[in-house]
């Protein structure tokens, strides 16, 4: 069920997370590696204060490795006790870096030799919080759903002799202020109940891919050149993939939906939607007045 976030939910969530954070040593913030800035809620900075934080760039199997490397540099901040790791919780790749990173963040603490590090996982919906918890716990433990906030009686799961995590993650709301963020999250399939016009967002996504990863579009849809005009490009894709209506007319909607599915399923290869320190997002340009 999609969440409807409203101010009541937000303040309750904020309160519960803040309360539960007192009981842990480390905050594990899960982000989507394809759009780390758009998939993070800065409220977490306020909530965690100076508690050590592991920033997990999850779904790195889907993201552009070069761009992910840039985000790793961007998030690394020993002064702020912040350490980034990149993982793919679905395949389990580099999952060990979570327990290792949590310990690194607590180095020097007196208790470290006596008990495991306690950590809590937080993030907006769909970044992969439950997948991370399940992968770490090694069993189907977290049936998390997408309800705002979290329950009070959370269990601590033993991940290893070195790490314990709560079985329930803190679910933050996505940032709503900036429409570019909404577009990116919608493209990634993270906002499912979008009131935004998905066709137009997808068209913008196609333009983005054609500019940043032109060869992927060419390869996937067997095109020798990419037409400058987006509608023509959609038409070409439709023609190649047999998206036709009666009378041989190209079915634009079908073609654009096919592209969206390909994008989300990683059929266009690994891509990222943003880089650190961007002045202005490609997705900030208004889609249509
Ligand atoms: P959440 O708790 O933060 O809301 O996210 P959740 O774990 O439910 O993950 C959301 C979707 O992202 C799931 O896909 C999940 O499989 C996928 N996912 C999580 N981590 C990774 C990863 O590292 N790599 C890839 N490629 N995908 C990941 P879904 O389509 O909703 O479910 P399913 O069809 O995979 O079961």
207 within a domain of the structure (yes/no): yes
Cross-strand pairs, 5: none
* Residues of the chain falling short of pLDDT 50: 140, 142-143, 289
One domain for residues 93 and 133: yes
One domain for residues 18 and 161: yes
**Crossing angle, helix 198-212 and helix 252-264, to 10 degrees?**
60
Residue 198: its pLDDT value, please?
Answer: 80
Residue 140: its pLDDT value, please?
Answer: 45
The predicted-structure confidence for 140-163, as pLDDT tens digits, reads as follows: 454 455 555 555 567 888 888 899
One domain for residues 162 and 248: no
* 6: Cα separation from own chain's centroid: 21
DSSP string, 46-114: HHHTTS-EEEEEE-TTTS-HHHHHHHHHHH-BGGGTEEEEE-BTTTTBTTHHHHHHHHHHTTT-GGGGT
Nearest to 59 by CA among 101, 82, 39, 31: 31
One domain for residues 28 and 164: yes
Residue where a domain terminates, one of 148, 171, 194: 171
3-state secondary structure of 169: coil
One domain for residues 94 and 236: no
One domain for residues 224 and 161: no
- Cα(213) to ligand 1 centroid in Å equals 24
One domain for residues 152 and 188: no
Its pTM stands at 0.92
- Euclidean distance between CA atoms 100 and 173, whole angstroms: 28
One domain for residues 204 and 138: no
Residue 153: its pLDDT value, please?
Answer: 61
| Closest protein CA for atom 29 of ligand 1 | 126
What CATH number does residue 130 fall under? Answer: 3.40.50.300
Residue 289: its pLDDT value, please?
Answer: 44
1 within a domain of the structure (yes/no): no
53 within a domain of the structure (yes/no): yes
Q: Specify the number of domains making up the chain.
A: 2
Residue where a domain terminates, one of 171, 203, 224: 171
Q: Is 187 in the pocket of ligand 1 (CB under 6 A)?
A: no
| Cβ contacts of 152 within 8 Å, gap of 6 or more | 16
Cross-strand pairs, 123: 171
Residue 3: its pLDDT value, please?
Answer: 66
One domain for residues 44 and 158: yes
90 within a domain of the structure (yes/no): yes
Helix residue ranges, H only, 159-271: 179-187, 198-212, 214-220, 230-240, 252-264
Residue 197: its pLDDT value, please?
Answer: 72
Residue where a domain terminates, one of 171, 200, 230: 171
One domain for residues 23 and 109: yes
One domain for residues 203 and 153: no
What CATH number does residue 213 fall under? Answer: 1.10.1580.10
147 within a domain of the structure (yes/no): yes
Cross-strand pairs, 160: 163
Phi, psi of 113 (to 5 degrees): -85, -10
185 within a domain of the structure (yes/no): yes
| Candidate from 3, 60, 90, 132 with most ligand 1 atoms within 8 A of CB, to mutate | 90
CA of 96: how far to CAs of 99, 141, 275, in Å? 6, 18, 26
Cross-strand pairs, 244: 250
289 within a domain of the structure (yes/no): no
Q: Would you say 50 and 74 are in contact if contact means Cβ atoms under 8 Å apart?
A: no
One domain for residues 215 and 114: no
| Enclosing domain of residue 103 | 7-171
| Cβ contacts of 197 within 8 Å, gap of 6 or more | 287, 288
Q: Is 199 in the pocket of ligand 1 (CB under 6 A)?
A: no
3-state secondary structure of 241: coil
The predicted-structure confidence for 35-87, as pLDDT tens digits, reads as follows: 999 999 999 999 998 899 999 999 999 999 999 999 999 999 999 999 999 99
Q: Would you say 58 and 128 are in contact if contact means Cβ atoms under 8 Å apart?
A: yes
Q: Is 202 in the pocket of ligand 1 (CB under 6 A)?
A: no
Task: Tell me what ipTM this predicted complex has.
Answer: 0.97
| Closest protein CA for atom 6 of ligand 1 | 128
């Amino acid at each position: 069920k999609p969440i409807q976030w409203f101010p009541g939910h937000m303040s309750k969530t904020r309160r519960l997370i803040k309360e539960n954070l007192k009981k842990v040593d480390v905050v594990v913030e899960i982000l989507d590696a394809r759009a780390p800035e758009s998939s993070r809620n800065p409220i977490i900075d306020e909530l965690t204060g100076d508690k050590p934080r592991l920033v997990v760039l999850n779904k790195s199997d889907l993201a552009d490795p070069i761009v992910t490397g840039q985000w790793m540099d961007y998030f690394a901040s020993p002064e702020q006790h912040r350490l980034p790791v990149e993982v793919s919780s679905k395949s389990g790749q580099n999952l060990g870096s979570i327990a290792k990173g949590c310990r690194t963040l607590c180095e020097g603490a007196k208790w470290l030799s006596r008990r495991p590090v306690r950590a809590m996982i937080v993030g907006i919906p769909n970044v992969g919080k439950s997948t991370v918890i399940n992968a770490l716990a090694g069993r189907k433990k977290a049936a998390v759903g997408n309800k705002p906030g979290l329950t009070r009686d959370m269990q601590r799961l033993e991940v290893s002799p070195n790490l314990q995590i709560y079985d329930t993650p803190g679910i933050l709301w996505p940032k709503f202020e900036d429409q570019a963020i909404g577009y990116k999250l919608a493209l990634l399939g993270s906002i499912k109940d979008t009131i935004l016009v998905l066709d137009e967002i997808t068209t913008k996504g196609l333009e983005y891919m054609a500019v940043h990863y032109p060869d992927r579009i060419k390869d996937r849809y067997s095109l020798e050149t990419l037409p400058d005009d987006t509608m023509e490009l959609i038409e070409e894709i439709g023609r190649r993939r047999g998206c036709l209506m009666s009378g041989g007319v190209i079915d634009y909607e079908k073609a654009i939906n096919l592209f969206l599915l390909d994008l989300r399923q990683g059929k266009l290869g690994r891509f990222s939607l943003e880089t650190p320190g961007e002045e202005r997002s490609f997705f900030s340009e208004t889609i249509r007045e």
